[in-house]
Amino acid sequence: MPTTPATATHSSSNGSAEAIMLELVDESGTTIGTAEKLAAHQAPGRLHRAFSVFLFDERGRLLLQRRALGKYHSPGVWSNTCCGHPYPGEAPFAAAARRTHEELGISPSLMAAAGTVRYNHPDPASGLVEQEFNHLYVGLAQDVPRPDPEEVGETVFVTAAELTERHAEGPFSAWFMTVLDAARPAIRELTGPSAGW
């Protein structure tokens, strides 16, 4: 679930550009090293730490984003509110809040951990592989999204029934249903039984 172009860099404290590095983990989620972002996603993929965020409005509707067309991985598909990778040594919760603000211009309210899920999803279109140990978070979106067009093509709030219709029409990210299903118990606790999640 990359959130920046594969060739992207970020500036270090001395102003030089550095490759984006991800945290490699074992099957229990213990850090075992680092790898450059694109290298970690090339087949067969290397298991690395990731996060997925699900934000809801006061009516219990889920905020979806359509990934920008310029993304190197899964461009133009619908997915959960926000997903990405912590930098090595960055707490997943902090990374989830940071990227939600960077991508959507909103700060989550009452964001809480919703467990973890491990998966392996190849992307036939790009040949890249998502081998991820994913930390899940649920919370509220109390501001109007102001998406960064380099990251997000569009956003929409959907009910559980509307999501079922949209998902049938597609296209959605390969990992979407895996992370949604894993987060459902926490989603139900947040939104209540009437929301239908």
Query: pTM for the full model?
Result: 0.90
Here the tokens at position 86 are 């912590």
- Express each pLDDT in 16-49 by its tens digit: 457 899 999 999 999 999 999 999 999 999 999 9
Question: Per residue, what are the HEC states of 55-122?
Answer: EECCCCCEEEEEECCCCCCCCCCEECCEEECCCCCCCHHHHHHHHHHHHHCCCCEEEEEEEEEEEEEE
Kindly name the residue from 23, 130, 132, 151 that is annotated as catalytic: 132
Backbone angles phi, psi at 133, to 5 degrees: -105, 100
Here the tokens at position 174 are 């390969």
Kindly name the residue from 82, 83, 103, 151 that is annotated as catalytic: 83
- Express each pLDDT in 153-181 by its tens digit: 999 999 999 999 999 998 999 999 999 99
Residues 131 and 48 sit within 8 Å (Cβ to Cβ)? yes
Is 82 part of the annotated catalytic residue set? no
What is the enclosing helix (H) or strand (E) of 49? strand 48-56
